[in-house]
Amino acid sequence: MLEYSGRRGEIRWSDQTLLPMRPIKQFSGTVSCWYCDFKFSALNEPLFRFGRRHSRSLRAWFSIGVVFSLAALLGVTLIILCELVRTTLVCAGNTSTGNSLFGLASVIGGLHISLPNMVYLCLSSVICVFVHELGHALAAASEGVHVEYVAIFLAVLFPGALVAFNHSSLQALPVVASLRIYCAGIWHNAAFCVGCALALVLLPFIFSPFYIHGESLMVLDVPSMSPLYGYLSRHDVIFSLDGIRIHTTEEWKQTITMLTEQTYSLSSDQPSVNLNVENGYCIHQSLTKEIAQVQFKGNQTYCPNELIAFASMTCLDVEKYTNNANRNNHQRRENIHCLDAKDVIKLKKCAYPNFKEQDLTNGSSCLCSEVESCLAPMQLPGLGWVEITYSSLECHSRRRSLFSPEKHSSSEQISCLQTFVYVGDLITMANSIHLTSYQPRWTIYFMAYLPNLLEKLFTYAFHVSMVLALLNSLPVFFLDGEYILEATLHCFGSLNSRMRQSVRRCCLLVGTSFSACFILQTIFVSVS
């Protein structure tokens, strides 16, 4: 959401205005083919009284904002110039593609917007624009300038808001005072970003009387299109992935990324069919005789229904597998069988990570008995294998209550954990369900969603407020940067009026062109 700050009263050294100045009622509006707005002046007097009452502290506050905004204007402009130079060199083939300088593009295009999240985006945009305009209004009130009205508008397809000031009152102000008004919006957005970041950090402590944070993940929703639909349900608690304990959503993402990298590493070693030696299981030989053999079509293996192909492995060569680089190179297969994964994962493991020193005595490297075979799943390239351990929230809550510090250690243990196997694209699987790091202390289900709602709102508000601050820091037509630049040029007494206007117009043209190119480049990279 772009905010147009073309405030009629903010153009201090020009009589040209975007909108006509005229007295308005407490509520009024304007409608045309390209522009419509809603104006209200009900807050004028309360804001003015508050600003005059606390004028000294507000001036000190907004003076800090002037320093920050001028530094932001210079810094963001230099970053965009460097980004454009880097992009030009990449296109010319003179340098390799890399991440965006200082991560500025990720700040602007870092939110992947889906239809359900549009509500968070719209709400956070309204809040951030209100914070921005409140800064302008309070800064003006502290300088004794009356606000004429506040307007919410839609210009073509771009929504925004503005605060209209009395033009003659602004003309009478010193340059520093007008700078405090122009920079107030950027400064408030930056301060609001800090507030959102602190809120995200403090949420676990604020919710600690009612929620447990960072113990395990809880499922908020499993859409019908998710590959985990039918396996997980709302309010289930996820404990681990492939035996790796998961506590927060960040750990979930990191673990999925690690497992995905391992899958692609395995695929690169053997591009046709892969034997996942890290997930081998000891299966009784009588069971392998009763189950269906794998079907072959060309070089590919097929199993009926939802069965998975497993290949038997000979006793592992200890010297070979002590070298991590060779762990995935075991390709010797004897018999291939179609097995039900949910039954197999209950058996004893015989994979490399499960070896212990006591298991390797007497020169033996076999973890399975003489009547068992070590079978490992066969995976197609790019398809991951992951064991997901979970329980229901009710059972988990009872277990937590039973083993609370007030209870004796000899209390009867309740077994809640269940495990199933997912075989497929791990990134798609991870993004298909909605998780939270918070669990309610009581099984009151409607409470489960509040922390996640606030986390999303604060996250979106942080990004939107940062984008508003960055965009308004740029020397671009109709944004705050235009008026900050104009006021700053008046500090240079050596420039006459014509030279100031020429420098101003040149900077705005260059800044608008470069900023438009950078934003289009960021959008293109995000989409592609």
Chain segment 516-528, per-residue pLDDT in tens: 877 776 666 555 5
Residue 371 pLDDT class (50, 70, 90 cuts): confident
**Averaged pLDDT, 421-450:** 85
CA distances from 133 to 68, 126, 127 (A): 17, 11, 10
At 300 the three-state DSSP class reads: strand
Residue 21 has pLDDT above 80, yes or no: no
pLDDT at position 392, please? 80
pLDDT in tens, 222-244: 988 888 888 898 888 999 988 88
Residue 361 pLDDT class (50, 70, 90 cuts): very low
pLDDT at position 196, please? 96
CA distances from 77 to 69, 162, 230 (A): 12, 24, 51
Provide the residue type at 80 as one letter. I
CA distances from 78 to 82, 105, 258, 517, 522 (A): 6, 14, 36, 14, 16
Residue 192 pLDDT class (50, 70, 90 cuts): very high
Residue 396 pLDDT class (50, 70, 90 cuts): low
Residue 52 has pLDDT above 60, yes or no: yes
Q: What are the tokens at 459?
A: 């996250």
Residue 305 has pLDDT above 90, yes or no: no
pLDDT at position 501, please? 86
The answer for residues whose C-beta is within 8 angstroms of residue 203's C-beta and 6 or more apart is: 213, 451, 454, 455, 458
Domain ranges of the chain: 53-145+166-203+455-527, 220-439
Active-site pick, 10, 133, 278, 372: 133
pLDDT at position 398, please? 64
pLDDT in tens, 101-145: 445 555 554 555 666 778 888 889 889 999 999 999 999 999 988
- In order, the DSSP letters of 171-224 are HTS-HHHHHHHHHHHHHHHHHHHHHHHHHHHHHHHHSTTTEEEEEEEEEEE--T
Residue 70 has pLDDT above 60, yes or no: yes
pLDDT at position 362, please? 39
**Averaged pLDDT, 38-52:** 86
Q: Rounded mean pLDDT of the chain? A: 75
pLDDT at position 166, please? 74
CA 415 to mean position of chain CA atoms = 35
Instruction: Please give the residue that has the higher pLDDT: either 322 or 253.
Output: 253
Residue 423 has pLDDT above 60, yes or no: yes
pLDDT at position 18, please? 35
Instruction: Please give the residue that has the higher pLDDT: either 206 or 23.
Output: 206
Percent of the chain with pLDDT over 90: 21
pLDDT at position 492, please? 78
pLDDT at position 187, please? 96
**Averaged pLDDT, 142-159:** 79
Q: Are 187 and 132 in contact (CB under 8 A)?
A: no
At 293 the three-state DSSP class reads: strand
Instruction: Please give the residue that has the higher pLDDT: either 316 or 386.
Output: 386
Residue 469 pLDDT class (50, 70, 90 cuts): very high
Residue 291 has pLDDT above 80, yes or no: no
Residue 297 pLDDT class (50, 70, 90 cuts): low
Residue 78 has pLDDT above 90, yes or no: no
Helical ranges in 217-303 per DSSP H: 249-269, 285-290
pLDDT at position 7, please? 41
Whether 133 is a known active-site residue: answer yes
How many other β-carbons are positioned within 10 Å of the β-carbon of residue 21?
A: 12
**Averaged pLDDT, 201-215:** 91
pLDDT at position 128, please? 92
Q: Please state, in angstroms and rounded to a whole number, the distance separating the CA atoms of residues 291 and 313.
A: 18
Residue 331 has pLDDT above 60, yes or no: no
**Averaged pLDDT, 390-402:** 67
Residue 13 has pLDDT above 50, yes or no: no
pLDDT at position 355, please? 45
**Averaged pLDDT, 71-93:** 79
Instruction: Please give the residue that has the higher pLDDT: either 52 or 337.
Output: 52
Instruction: Please give the residue that has the higher pLDDT: either 223 or 359.
Output: 223
Instruction: Please give the residue that has the higher pLDDT: either 488 or 115.
Output: 488
Residue 432 has pLDDT above 60, yes or no: yes
